[in-house]
């Protein structure tokens, strides 16, 4: 059974950093494209980053470009999101999501981890 578990969220001051992790199990992690999607509590979904199966291709949403870095370790079945220079409007629940179709279809999601940026 596919299982994605995020960790690393918490409270951080503006300008601070956090690294999120997403541990994958129950499927061939190295065969699946992976993404990070966030959701401000009570609001809608926002895609923020993509990494290809091998990790060689990455994409970012404009507002996080240059501040966030997505990566993966296929030997450990873990997806990462390094978040630097955090802003108040980065406060959200962050989900990792797998895409086996390769067309930004998010067919499996983790339970999410809350990032709270506050002074």
Partner 1 sequence: QSVLTQPPSVSGTPGQRVTISCSGSNSNIGSNTVKWYQQFPGMAPKLLIHSTSQRPSGVPDRFSGSKSGTSASLAISGLQFEDGADYYCSSWDDSLNVYVIFGGGTKLTVL
**Residues forming the site for partner 1 (CB under 8 A):** 35, 44-47, 50, 59, 61-62, 95, 101, 103-112
State in angstroms the smallest separation of the CB of 107 from partner 1: 5
**103 or 119: whose CB is closer to partner 1?**
103
Instruction: Report the 3 state secondary structure along 2-58.
Output: CEEEEECCEEECCCCCEEEEEEEECCCHHHCEEEEEEECCCCCEEEEEEECCCCCCE
Give CA separation, 20 vs 1, 61, 79, 101, in Å: 22, 17, 8, 24
**35 or 53: whose CB is closer to partner 1?**
35
State in angstroms the smallest separation of the CB of 13 from partner 1: 27
H or E stretch at 93? strand 92-99
**3 or 13: whose CB is closer to partner 1?**
3
**27 or 59: whose CB is closer to partner 1?**
59
State in angstroms the smallest separation of the CB of 62 from partner 1: 5
């Amino acid at each position: 059974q596919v299982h994605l578990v995020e960790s690393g969220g918490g409270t951080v001051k503006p300008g601070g950093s956090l690294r999120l992790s997403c541990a994958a199990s129950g499927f061939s992690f190295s065969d699946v494209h992976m993404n990070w999607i966030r959701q401000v509590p009570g609001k809608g979904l926002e895609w923020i980053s993509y990494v290809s199966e091998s990790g060689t291709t990455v994409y970012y949403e404009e507002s996080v470009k240059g501040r966030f870095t997505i990566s993966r370790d296929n030997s450990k079945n873990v997806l990462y999101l390094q978040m630097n220079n955090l802003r108040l409007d980065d406060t959200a629940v962050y989900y990792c999501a797998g895409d086996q179709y390769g067309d930004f279809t998010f067919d499996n999601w983790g339970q999410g981890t809350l990032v709270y940026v506050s002074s």
